[in-house]
Amino acid sequence: MDVLGDGLLEALRLLLTGDEDTWAITGLTLRVSLGATLVAFLLGVPVGTVLALGRFRGRRVLLAVANTGMGLPPVVVGLFVTVLLWRAGPFGALDLLYTPTAMVVAQAAIATPIVIALTATALQQVDPDFLLQMRALGATRSRALGALLVEAKLPLLAAGMAGFGAVVSEVGAAQMVGGNLAGETRVLTTAAVLATSRGQFALAIAFGLVLLVIAFAVNLAITIAQHRQTVAT
């Protein structure tokens, strides 16, 4: 109990006193995870839309692959990205390993299947006659599709936030491709692991609490958006 109490006090101290290292680690965590989520969203929503609305051979297989990818172990993703970016790997010349960019790539690979699968599910739940009605009203195919995405904006937002939640809390891929370098690639999860390995439990708990605050803020934003949408309708 003393360790937990010390962790709470340490978290408050680090945040309220403006500890430079903690803010730097938190800032990098947000930049990497938000960047990865944006990439996953830009890739996942179009692919999920095609899988939801398209009718082509292999569609169900691709949906199954996306659903399977939702449970892909981050350490496996980290391994493949490390091999690809390794000095002797196919992209080794880019010299990206152990950089925030490599972490964005790895985390985007984790989040993209989540966004794809949840986008496909969300669009499949919209009234199947919606697109036909829009086309009957004279809307072009692109406008009708845009209206469909607007109709499903909250589930799509939830898909993006689910992807963010998956990457902001993962440690395996971030550790493998980032190297946990102080001042360069150290994020909250890897910092917590390092502090725990050193027996600095109060500091590790403090980093964990900062992560919980971030997760709470994300969920609160979704809840407020959903409430406003419900009131508006």
User: Residue 84 has what pLDDT?
Assistant: 94
17, two tokens? 């006193």
Of the candidate ranges 79-83, 179-183, 212-216, the one whose mean pLDDT is the lowest: 212-216
Number of domains in the chain: 1
pLDDT digit string, tens, across residues 119-161: 998 888 776 666 666 666 666 667 777 777 877 788 888 888 8
Give the range of the structural domain holding residue 137, as residue numbers without chain letter: 2-232
174 and 187 Cβ atoms separated by less than 8 Å? yes
pLDDT attached to residue 199: 84
What CATH number has the domain bearing residue 21?
1.10.3720.10
pLDDT band at 231 (very low <50, low <70, confident <90, very high): low
**Stated pTM of the model:** 0.87
pLDDT at 222 over 60: yes
For residue 95, the SS3 value is coil
Scored b (16 or more CB within 10 A) or e, 3-27 reads eeeebeebbeebbeeeeeebeebbe
Mean pLDDT of 101-126: 92
Residue 16: the pLDDT is: 75
Cα separation, 230 vs 183, whole angstroms? 44
Amino acid (one-letter) located at 159: A
C-alpha distances out from residue 180 to 4, 36, 171, 206, Å: 25, 17, 10, 18
Residue-wise pLDDT for 18-36, tens only, equals 677 888 898 999 999 999 9
The pLDDT confidence band at residue 205, using thresholds 50, 70 and 90, is confident
User: For residue 27, which of 39, 19, 37 has the smallest C-alpha distance?
Assistant: 19
**What pLDDT band is residue 88 in, cutting at 50, 70 and 90?**
confident
Q: Quick one: pLDDT band at residue 98, thresholds 50, 70, 90?
A: very high
The answer on pLDDT for 1 being more than 60 is: no
Both tokens of residue 108? 């985007």
